[in-house]
Chains A and B, each alone.
Chain A
Amino acid sequence: MKKILAIASISLRTTLRSKVVLSLVVILLMVIIGLPLSIKSDATISGEVQILVIYTLGIVIAILSIATLWAGCAAISSEVAERQIHLVVSKPVTRFQILLGKWVGLVVLNAALLCVSGVAVYGLLRWNTRATQLTGDELRQLNEEILVARTRIGPQIPDVDVEARKMADDWMKAPNFPPNATRAEAIDEARKMILAKAFSVPPGATITWKFDLPTRLREDHPLHIRYKFASSRMEITTIPGTWIVGGPERRQTIIDRNDTSEGFHTIRVQDPVASPDGSLEISFRNTTEERPVAIYFPPQDGISLFVYTGGFEFNLLRTLLILLLHLSFLSAVGVVAGSLFSLPTAAFTALYLVVLLKFIPYIESMAARESFMSGPGQPGGQIFDVFLILFYRGMQLLVSPLKSPNPLDSLGIGENVPWSWVGSVFAVKVLLYGGAIALIGRLLFYRRELGLPS
């Protein structure tokens, strides 16, 4: 361990001497201070705060990602090119320790830069949202909806599998059932149809959802119901409705609303009374009797409950930790690439891998296809199909676990970034993939001849 830390320390000192760190700090601070002056929000204070958090930290991460890849690639490759590595390998350290030492050095450097950036962004945020600058409503909205960590809870979704299977089987018996459709597809369609019906509200009708509240619910913080719906009218229109929060046997909060279809709306509920089993009933009554309109809440995101879980500061910390873990993964990619190739080749290889990660959704969509080239008039296409299907599915298997949502998107809208998320990113990006890359690096770096004439 001492050897690894010694190498890490040497790497850090070299970096500091080369003024890379100083330059990065200056660039990052310029971004953090300058960006909010140039970005445009929707002219609300909440919009400004959200933009500031997401874009400022987003650009900081983009800069650090590029710098990390470059520094990682250069860490060993430049030493090999300048023959400095000869001095290091002649010491009693293994090549794997050299790799790890370089990686630790980069992680420490990133942690320090991220820390500086995080503190600067937080300071700027607090300065921009100081109480004297805002109205009471703005302050309340910020403290309740944005500068917090709230857990998003979806409603209990009814189990419709049995009904969906039965419906699908009935469809398959019908003469007009498409011959090329599978039972799985039919079940999927049936499930969607049943859920759509369950989330529809005809005029005068009431729909009730149940939400499982967390066990430690903070009573001094309100809940927020966020919802959107579509209506049976062609145009976007205002729909009257009544929201009832709480079951019939408990104290209920009743709210009359006029909301536009298609838009997202939020209702603030103070002190809701949950059922003894910890669930909360929320009902919506469609009161469009005069001009009847049916309403549909999309099951995926039609209605969610936002519950206070913690403060903004720890949410920011967890977000920064996830970002640091991502940078650590990039460091591993860079260091290993730099240990195998010359700097330009390593940089392009590492960059290719990073770009590949951005195309994971595309790879997944390709992997889901059953054919690429075969079909009427394409007799030879089947061989290519087999090759492409194997290629994309293999790629999917390889890169899909690395797909993860951007924690900044959650932080920006006051959504909780749980520790479990930090843990899963650590497990996947650092332990699993970082470990695999390290092992590959160890294997190949050991075999590399470092004393070749130039």
Chain B
Amino acid sequence: MKSFFQNALLVLLSVIFIAGSGQVQQGLLKQRAELTQGNVAPVENMPPWVAFVTVALGGFRGLIVDALWLRATRMQEDGRYFELVQLSDWMTKLEPRFPQIWEFHSWNLAWNVSVLFNDHEDRWRWVQHGMRMLRDEGLVYNPGSPELYWALGWIFQFKMGASLDDAHRFYKTSWAGEMAELFDGMAPDFDPYLAAPDTMEGLLEDSATQSLVASLTEAGISTLNLEAVTSSNATDRVRELLENDPAAPTLLVSLKRQKMKSVYKLDVERMMHVDDEYGPLDWRLPDAHAIYWAEQGKEHAEGFTALTLDRMTFQSLASAFRLGLAFFDIDGLLIPSPNLALYEHVRKAYLEALEEHGDNESMHTAFENFLNLAFNYHVGFNRVDRAREIFNEIKTRYPSARTNGGYNHFVATSFGEATRELNGQEVRAVAEGFIVQGLTWYARGDDDRYFGALMQAMAFYRDHRKEFNDEAHWKRVGLPEFNSLKYKAFHELLERVEHPVARQRLEELRIREGVPDKDPDQATRSTGM
């Protein structure tokens, strides 16, 4: 009997202690949310083994992580990279709520390991490992960590977006190829995407879609997903259904939206907000994604982290202005080109930064450089009114001997300096602008101006090549042959010009100049059908 009472007492005490610890736990969670920047409630959907390991191993997790870290370092030094993904995975899973571990390992894979490979495809695979580690897992376990949003945005902004890595063009082309599967043109057509269900259950609620899915199943689609229905191996019957069935457009858009959400973690509504705020952005290029992730990080950031995320948005926006429109040449080579529509956004961002940090001299220098660049681009693309506006602003804010000489003098002197001050990609954009300007004049019947602008473009391009007499440099910055620029300019203009006489003149010139007709596949990719 004594034993029974003893046991009962122990059971009672256990219950009291467990209940008490539950109460304390709530308080601890609250305190953690208050005291830790960006931290939120524990993740509910942790895989069982991660949840088990984090609880069962307790403080010993750190020791295991140390041992794994030592092995990972040794493996990396020995060139045995194949183990790094698994070792990094274990380390992060042992400390899933420790953002710095995710940040370090994703950075190591995407930045350090990738550059050790010659082959660009190999490099891209490692960049993707790092990106996925953050996007698919790190942010799932730490949805309130601004550092992880920053790290992810940094991969888009600098690893893929800038020209620091020899393989940056491969990254951009590969990424643009992946995005081109999800939407046509430079961005999704947001309204139909928002209207389409973002889950399979939602999609199948509609009876017309149910009927289409049944027909697709009969036609050989066993698993309904975007890859299956758009596969080149799809049967003729599948193609026919997708072309003719009235429910097909919704089905396709829904499948694309689902893939955007599940694979790329892109929320269409959020994309639309970002595009409304800063766009029109070309979502096939990395800059738009850097802004997307930076904007998400800002929701959880404060202090210096918020500032770094602000800078990421600001710098990516400036970069998108310089080279934020994707175009594919006849060989499928990606040619990023200026996105002049972003001028006002970038200018506004600079003015806001100047308001906040007006005493910082470097901010003024950066703004002056931006205005000069924007001026060159607008002159190059024959946007004379806007160019004059920019000139007036430069003259008012940063007067100099050049501005005192008037608009024409400023145009003449600007391009003399440009070769030395602009980087290769910017020079390419300016040269391309001259060609577009010349072609526009030609379409209007002014042959002289056409030849003048073309000569200017050629001289500008040649000067740059002479200034940087280095094949590796041209290759890295992705400066294409002059004829590729002409090809791009011709077709871009032919897509825009509607006047039949102007179109005819341009077509005749294209044939006379020996510029190839547009590859239908490339046309689809660049114009977005």
Query: B-contacting residues of A (Cβ < 8 Å)?
Result: 39-44, 46-47, 50-51, 54-55, 226, 228, 236, 238, 257-260, 262-265, 290-291, 301, 413
Contacts and interface: CB of A to CB of B under 8 A. Distances in A.
B470 A290 contact: yes
Contact of A236 (B84, B85, B116): B116
A263 B116 contact: yes
Contacts of A226: 79
B125 interface: yes
B86 A260 contact: no
A260 B83 contact: no
B89 A40 contact: yes
Interface residues of B, number: 20
Interface string B166-188: 10000000000000000000000
B85 A260 contact: no
Given A51-B83, A263-B118, 10 more contacts: A39-B86, A40-B86, A40-B89, A41-B85, A44-B82, A50-B80, A236-B116, A260-B115, A262-B115, A263-B79
B195 interface: no
B118 A42 contact: no
B118 A260 contact: yes
14 contacts: A40-B89, A42-B85, A42-B125, A43-B85, A46-B82, A50-B82, A51-B83, A228-B79, A257-B118, A260-B115, A260-B117, A262-B116, A263-B79, A264-B79
Nearest to A146: B82
B85 A265 contact: no
A50 B126 CA distance: 17
Interface in B36-85: 78-85
B116 A42 contact: no
A54 B78 CA distance: 15
Contact of B470 (A44, A46, A265, A291): A291
Contact of B82 (A47, A228, A238, A258): A47
A416 to B, nearest CB: 17
Given A238-B166, A291-B470, A291-B472, A42 B115 contact: no
Contacts of B129: 42-43
A280 B527 CA distance: 57
A263 B82 contact: no
Nearest to B67: A358
A41 B117 contact: no
A51 B81 CA distance: 11
B70 to A, nearest CB: 10
- The 4 A-B pairs of least Cβ separation, nearest first, read A263-B116, A264-B79, A47-B82, A42-B82
A236 B79 CA distance: 15
Nearest to A265: B118
Given A51-B86, A263-B115, A263-B117, A42 B81 contact: yes
Given A260-B118, A263-B115, A264-B116, A41 B166 contact: no
A51 B118 contact: no
A318 to B, nearest CB: 20
Interface in B122-152: 125-126, 129
A262 B113 CA distance: 10
Contacts of A290: 470
Given A290-B470, A291-B472, A41 B115 contact: no
Interface string B149-169: 000000000000000001000
A170 to B, nearest CB: 34
Contacts of B78: 301
A265 B166 CA distance: 17
Nearest to A413: B80
Contact of B86 (A41, A257, A262, A264): A41
Given A43-B129, A290-B470, A258 B85 contact: no
Interface in B294-348: none
Contacts of A228: 79
A46 B472 CA distance: 31
A53 to B, nearest CB: 11
Given A42-B82, A54-B83, A238-B166, A260 B125 contact: no
Contacts of A39: 86
B118 A41 contact: no
B82 A41 contact: yes
A41 B129 CA distance: 10
Nearest to A38: B49
